[in-house]
Amino acid sequence: MANTNYFYSLGRRKSSTARVRLAKGKGNIIINGKSVEDYVHNSKYFLNKLNQPFIALDIKNDFDITVVVTGGGSNSQIEAIRLGIAKCLTLLNEDFKQTLKRADLLGRDSRDKERKKFGLKGARKKRQFTKR
């Protein structure tokens, strides 16, 4: 969905869902009402992960990004946001799609935790075998 003022997309990873809104601006990133530095506690690893779509396209971050993210852990949330940003950039310019796809930034990582089965201790762990 694209409006004339901003571009909107959804990113998912494990049980995290990120709703990303990209608009022209000064490069501010707001996640759940906090600045990105406060949200990721100045972790260089997470900040680099968020900027991967811009690095892959070799463009400067001249966009204000507003994100509402729910569920999952911190790494899962960051990867969901990264996917949402990459999708927004493809809406902005269709030529970016090929580059982002080659950089593995447009694929959804669907790996999820396997559910616990009835009669087992975990997803696959069985009871200890006793001979007598």
Contacts with 89 (C-beta within 8 Å, 6 or more apart), sequence order: 22, 53, 57, 96, 100
- 118 within a domain of the structure (yes/no): no
Residue 97 in contact with residue 9, Cβ under 8 Å?
A: no
Q: Does any domain span residue 55?
A: yes
Q: Give the chain's domain count.
A: 1
Q: Which pLDDT belongs to residue 132?
A: 85
Exposed / middle / buried, residue 64 (Cβ in 10 Å: 0-12, 13-18, 19+): middle
Q: Which pLDDT does position 123 carry in this prediction?
A: 95
Domain contains 29: yes
**Structural domain of 93:** 6-102
> Which pLDDT belongs to residue 100?
94
Cα–Cα separations (whole angstroms), residue 36 to 42, 51, 118: 8, 11, 41
- Kindly state whether residue 115 falls inside one of the protein's structural domains: no
Residue 73 lies in a domain: yes
**Domain harbouring 66, CATH code:** 3.30.230.10
Predicted local confidence at residue 9, as pLDDT = 95
Residue 128 lies in a domain: no
**pTM summary value:** 0.87
Residue linked to tokens 């990105």: 36
Is 123 a member of any domain? Answer: no
Examine residue 62 and state whether it is found in any structural domain, yes or no: yes
**Which residues, including other chains, have CB under 8 Å from residue 42's CB and lie 6 or more apart?**
none
Instruction: Return the SS3 of 42.
Output: coil
Positions of the chain with pLDDT under 50: none
